[in-house]
Amino acid sequence: MEESVKILLNSTANVDSVNVDEFQKIELSNKRGLITEYDIRNVLSATEVFDTEREANSIYRIYGKIEYLSLLNYLKNDYSQLQDFFLPQPSGNSKTLLSSFNFYLTKACTGYTHITGISSTIEYIRYFEVIATPVDFEIYPIGFANNVYGEQAYAFNFDVDFDTSTYVDEFGFPATELFLYAQFKQSKPTETLSATTWSNTGVESKTGIVPISLNVGNKVKGLFEIKIGDIIEYAKSEFLQEQLTSQTMYIKTPYVDGVTPKRLIWKYNPFIPLRLSYFSNDLSRANISGTSYEQTSTIPYYATEYPTGTGNYVWRNILPQGFFDPLTGIGVDYPFVNKKRYLFTNIVFEVTPDLTDANTLDAFSHILYDDPTILNTEPNDDLNNIGKPCQ
């Protein structure tokens, strides 16, 4: 607090006025004293700051490469005979990845169909929710990049960022994967598409699907609200979800064999996983009744109470970015720049003949090679001749 000083104005001063000290007295002393020593060094670890910022960030920019492997690639759109499926077109009016598929980005959504199990382990149909549409998706040929068959490879990226911090499934599991959904586009009205569906008791069947345009927030589905998913097993006591049966879609391509109408069936998995992170291989448990604050504070928000009502929680920690489990070797290490993680995925997208179909199996079993004897020809040289001069 400042000292109160009374100042007498000169106009009222007289010989009897009291002298007023208008200055603050400062005492100077030359006594020696000890200087308290402090550690003025501040060691800053750029690695620790980087790791802390990356772990606190859940925003992803997604891009990658797609190699399309299928006999349908570069097949002419107006095919009519069986031989047309084995005559790729170099350019022009032909089936390519760009003309045959639309791509959406999806996540596991809330809402599911229960199949079996009521206590520690259940099986259910998992569905998927659209978080980005083809409007947000860019795909283009890569310069000087071909697959093993000399066919064009493609690069893709989404021109929007994805904040995954709010992505959870029906059971509160945080998203450790996103899924690129490949939706087939019919090039001929006679082409048809089917998806694998399951009843409430798990009976599997093939259901005809008419692809429709999807918006952000929609479940992946076809016309008439036919939802498309896969089968998941959830072991509550182990805090573990595993895919039991993946989704398989079927493309029917009709042709004429002489005068007889026939068709080939092709199959593919439309949900391509994009790995965000992994759960730890170690299971953690804690009880909130009578447990110290230090222990209960480590329980993550997504932990599951099991058995329900007992105060016992189970969970698996999410492995930090850049860490790889020494036992399983799993982990991810994505670049972290400009306050976002850059997730790159190299995808080999296969559409293969469905050889469980009798007509498709019969058609491919009758394929003849120009020179069948070449299959039985053994190489003239062996490994011992590698590096030696040619004879």
pLDDT in tens, 36-88: 766 666 677 888 888 889 898 999 999 999 999 999 999 988 899 998 898 88
pTM to 2 decimal places? 0.82
Per-domain boundaries in the chain: 46-280+345-370
Structure tokens at 270: 């439309």
CA distance 182 to 61: 19
Whether 161 shows a pLDDT value over 70: the answer reads yes
pLDDT in tens, 282-319: 999 888 876 666 667 788 999 998 888 788 899 999 99
Query: Of 55, 315, 60, which is closest to residue 177 (Cα–Cα)?
Result: 60
